[in-house]
Amino acid sequence: MARVVVDVMLKPEILDPQGKAVLGALPRLGFGGVVDVRQGKRFELEFEGDITEERLAEVRKAAETLLSNPVIEDYTVRVEQA
Amino acid sequence: MKIGVVTFPGSLDDVDARRAVRIAGAEAIALWHGDHDLRGVEAVVLPGGFSYGDYLRCGAIARFAPVMREVVDAAVGGMPVLGICNGFQILCETHLLPGALIRNDHCKFVCRDQRLRIESTSTAWTSAYAAGAEVTIPLKNGEGGYVADEATLDRLEGDGLVVARYVETNPNGSLHDIAGIANERGNVVGLMPHPEHAVEALCGPGTDGLAFFASVVSSWAAAESLASS
């Protein structure tokens, strides 16, 4: 089994109300020093066999059509070794 | 006139939308997300709700429902399409409309009778309003904050594609107080408030929403009588 991880984050210029709420909660719980929080999504895609370039290209296509909305989000794709 | 209302798994306001269509004088046709079939309708409403549980992003999975291929083709061909709330989110996810809708800036679900100004009457869905009319229509959303990049906002404003704007208060952090937008042709409109909940005096804040549906019915009737004369 091999794993490909897709991380999706709101673009820097897009307001992240959830991240802001987490940022507000941290000091209330005594976690100091945090100056900003952005919240994103992580997808773990499991594959049988090796990750080929073709497979990675398909994952990138999935990332930009379904897993992220390119209007408001950026994504990164990486292979995670077991 | 036949107006189709699509039901997705998790749609909530499809029945109200069909009722609004009937009150406006058209025949309401129930369309199913899983069918590649628009059943001969002349306009389509994508109703509010939580299609596919809002999983992933609101509208992200509904965008790939079988019926959406036909809806997108028809919209590109000029058929009037109105997306309300979740329907607006679906239209943005399909890229029939620019921008996107994100979580309300205050992170809370909002449900209120909202004042709006109708900014454009040159769309298929707003032609029956007086320009600049202020109306009250229910609004209920958790992810209704309209965002787009500066160039897109400039284009929307410059080309008169902002259809409705929040007045008195901005309930969800939408940029430029945008409550609804249209495509260049004016046949595709996305709207965060719910006009289908304001079509009868008995329920809701009044009948201010009815003109959205009456607009498309009367422009269709006008086109039909022109075609037959």
Run means of pLDDT, 10 residues per run, chain B, 229 residues: 98 98 98 97 98 95 97 98 98 98 95 98 97 97 96 98 98 98 98 98 95 96 85
Q: What pTM was computed for the model? A: 0.95
pLDDT recorded at residue A48: 92
* Residue corresponding to tokens 């607009």: B215
Min Cα distance A65 → chain B (Å) is 9
Beta strands in B25-147 (DSSP E): 27-32, 43-46, 81-84, 100-102, 110-118, 134-141, 145-147
Alpha-carbon torsion, ordered A59, A64, A69, A73, to 10 deg: 90
Which residues does A contribute to its contact with B (CB < 8 Å)? 10, 13-15, 17-18, 20-21, 66-67, 69, 71-72
Interface of B with A in 31-60 (CB under 8 A): 56-57, 60
Min Cα distance B44 → chain A (Å) is 24
Task: Give me the residues of chain A with pLDDT under 70, please.
Answer: 82
The pairing of beta strand B188-191 with beta strand B178-182? antiparallel
pLDDT recorded at residue B69: 97
Nearest CA in chain A to B150: A13
Cβ pair B145:A67 closer than 8 A: no
pLDDT recorded at residue A82: 64
Min Cα distance A13 → chain B (Å) is 9
pLDDT recorded at residue A53: 94
CB-nearest partner of A17 from B64, B99, B104: B104
Cβ pair A15:B104 closer than 8 A: no
Report ipTM (2 d.p.).
0.88
Cβ pair B147:A17 closer than 8 A: no
Cβ pair A15:B64 closer than 8 A: no
